[in-house]
Amino acid sequence: MDAGVAGILSLFLILSTMCFMLWKNNRKQGQLPPGPAPWFLLGNLWQKDVLPLHKSYQKLSKKYGPVFTVWLGPKPAVVLCGYEAVRNALVGQAEEFGGRAAILNCIFSGLVTGSEKKWRELRRFTIATLRDFGMGKKTMAQRVQEEAQYLVKVFDPITSIRHAVSNVVCAVVFGSRFSYKDEAFLELLGMIGNYIHYFISPFAQVCTSASPLSPLGTSHLSPWGISPLSLEKLKNFIRKKIDSHKQTLEPSCPRDYIDCFLIKSEKGKSTSGDVFSDENLLMAVFDLFGAGTVSTANTLLFFLLVMAKFPQIQAKVQQEIEKAVGAIRAPGIEDRVRMPYTNAVIHELQRSQKAQSENFPRAVTRRTEFWGYTIPQGTTVIPMFRSVHSDPKQWETPEEFNPGHFLDEKGEFRPNKAFMPFSAGKRMCPGEGLARMELFLFFSTLLQNFTFKLVTDLKEMDILSLWVDYQNKGPYSKFQVIRR
């Protein structure tokens, strides 16, 4: 027999044995929720009626209930659907469901991924630092306002939204902003964009959860524009910023997140071990960019697309902005209380976006009893937040775009407990305050200065079809931007 064929057969036999043992071990350890029958070795991979979950979860939850199991290769993943299941797990049993599944630890680990001890310390430090630098306060609002004014001065704000959002993060992390034409800045955004595009893809979950694919290492990243060379280039960009900060650091007067991290590293050498190391600073900076740039920019673009589809809602928002702040003064964060309709529209836009938070799975930290099932320690858990945002028990018209979901009888803003765009529980987004501020200030400033219109042949498309079409083809075939 040819040596190559023999090697392949041997590898297949080894993997098959591993898969069988993993499957048998999982069956012994716990009583998992029901779910579609897995194929040998592959689990539910390539079963079109099962994966990707964002297309099948409704059908599967109707058949198996709000808690069910799918198999990513030989490993099970418990899926949570609907407000009650998600809240009971992430909030009601926050400690048990507070682990993070191993995704892309082969590349980075920090605020998003990483060990529990390191994650806890870095998260606590980051939240405190962002708060010290004004997250949710007037000082940070002024930075966002300033960047919003740069944005509305450019000829085409659509193409510059990601630059503007990224500059807010740059101000927090590096202490300065970049020109929208800076080549190093644009290259940085391109590399981060490729990484996030991969990270939120269903393929990422498969490659990091399914044992048969783990030997691929990082070789499967190339189709997303992520090569070992580009990753090293990205790391070097951040390292240079860190080195520059070290040379100019004034411990009594920190300028930004990097300064605060370096000061903490020096003070905590004897107590924090390797948590506040240079490598973890690099990872934390990357996580902040990944979480705070592409997702926020895409959310704003989605906002504008929906406003173009619903011109009557856009006009009502613009009228409220004019009434609250006029046409000259820029909207401030303090104006939000005087703009309940605009605030409601922003919340409804987030609800309707069908956010991809489920691409950041959890893991149970110990053997866990939940809704009559026993989930083994380390099992991946996927909370379907889009199912929470379309739960008919929580929303009057879940399939319609309706700002009334967040307005009371008097037209005042009304929060909803089932609104979870930033996740929930222990792993809730640490930058939620900054993101909320950015969404309000950028959105209100853009609508104060521009009107957005769709091209005529797209007006009959539903919101999500429009968004998918936009992502595939780009903005120019969708938008008309008219300066007011």
Is residue 372 left, alpha or beta, with left meaning phi > 0 and alpha meaning psi from -120 to 50? left
Is residue 170 a known part of a binding site?
Answer: no
Backbone angles phi, psi at 3, to 5 degrees: -60, -35
Q: Among residues 388, 383, 354, which one has the least CA distance to residue 464?
A: 354
Cis before 52? omega within 30: yes
For residues 271 and 268, give the distance between their C-alpha atoms in angstroms, rounded to a whole number. 5
Q: What DSSP string describes 132-161?
A: HTTTTSHHHHHHHHHHHHHHHHSS-HHHHH
Q: Which tokens belong to 229?
A: 């060379």
For 171, other C-beta atoms within 10 Å of its C-beta total 20
Q: Among residues 298, 350, 305, which one has the least CA distance to residue 476?
A: 305
For residues 157 and 450, give the distance between their C-alpha atoms in angstroms, rounded to a whole number. 9
Cα diameter, the chain: 82
Contacts of 368 (CB under 8 A, 6+ apart): 93, 96, 97, 374, 375, 377
Q: What DSSP string describes 316-366?
A: HHHHHHHHHHTTTSPP-GGGGGG-HHHHHHHHHHHHHT---GGGS-EE-SS
Contacts of 279 (CB under 8 A, 6+ apart): none
Strands 450-454 and 479-483: antiparallel
Q: From the annotation, which residues make up the binding site?
A: 429
Q: From the annotation, which residues make up the binding site for heme?
A: 429
